[in-house]
């Protein structure tokens, strides 16, 4: 699907066509474009996984690389043990807890901001808002599709 067809479909949907058959045709065309693009994305993702696996297998089949990989694993075990000993120190535990707390707080604030912006956009129809420093900020929505879970 090329940009010209997408633009034509968008134009047809955004303008109120006098003929409902025309609107239905555009909607069906848009739905077909979505389905085709989803299929194309799934095919590309599958091919990417296969290529990545072939790439990884190349290294795993090399004896020198496998030997070096084993040495790295042993060194990482020692490193991880040292890290666990350092983490047990009280001051490091406090810092780790603070990081976890701040991360959760940040996630909550981002979710709240998203909700506020969606409501602001719905009420005003605006796609921009002025930030606290006077800078004009664009409001973007990130739409995507996910598989529905079968309940």
Question: pLDDT truncated to tens, each residue of the chain (151 aa)?
Answer: 455 555 555 555 554 545 778 888 998 999 999 999 999 999 999 999 999 999 999 999 999 999 999 999 999 999 999 999 999 999 999 999 999 999 999 999 999 999 999 999 999 999 999 999 999 999 998 888 888 888 7
Determine the Cα–Cα distance for residues 100 and 145; give it in Å rounded to an integer.
30
pLDDT at 5: 53
DSSP 107-150: HHHHHHHHHHHHHHHHHH--SEEE-TTS-EEE--------PPPP
Q: What's the confidence (pLDDT) of residue 82?
A: 97
pLDDT of residue 17: 45
CA–CA distance from 48 to each of 57, 81, 114, 144, 145 (Å)?
14, 36, 32, 20, 20
CA–CA separation, 151 and 147 (whole Å): 12
Bridge partner residues of 137 (DSSP): 129
Query: In angstroms, rounded to a whole number, what is the distance separating the alpha carbons of residues 10 and 46?
Result: 30
Q: Which residues of 6-28 are buried (b: 16+ CB within 10 A; e: fewer)?
A: eeebeebeeeeeeeeeeeeebee
Per the confidence metrics, is the pTM higher than 0.85? no
Q: Can you give the pLDDT at residue 45? A: 97
C-alpha span between 149 and 151 (Å, rounded): 6
Kind and range of the H or E run holding 102: helix 90-124
Q: What is the per-residue pLDDT for 2?
A: 52
pLDDT at 128: 94
Among 79, 77, 78, 96, smallest CA distance to 87 is for 96
């Amino acid at each position: 699907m090329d940009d010209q067809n997408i633009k034509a479909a968008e134009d047809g949907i955004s303008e109120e066509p006098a003929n409902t058959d025309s609107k239905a045709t555009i909607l069906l065309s848009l739905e077909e474009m979505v389905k085709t693009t989803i299929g194309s994305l799934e095919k590309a993702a599958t091919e990417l996984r296969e290529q990545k696996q072939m790439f990884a297998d190349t290294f795993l089949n090399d004896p020198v690389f496998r030997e070096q990989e084993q040495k790295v694993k042993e060194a990482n075990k020692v490193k991880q043990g040292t890290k666990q000993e350092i983490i047990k120190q009280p001051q490091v535990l406090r810092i780790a807890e603070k990081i976890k707390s701040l991360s959760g707080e940040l996630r909550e604030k981002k979710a709240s901001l998203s909700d506020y912006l969606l409501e602001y956009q719905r009420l005003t129809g605006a796609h921009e808002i002025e930030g606290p420093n006077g800078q004009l900020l664009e409001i973007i929505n990130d739409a995507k599709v996910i598989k529905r879970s079968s309940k």
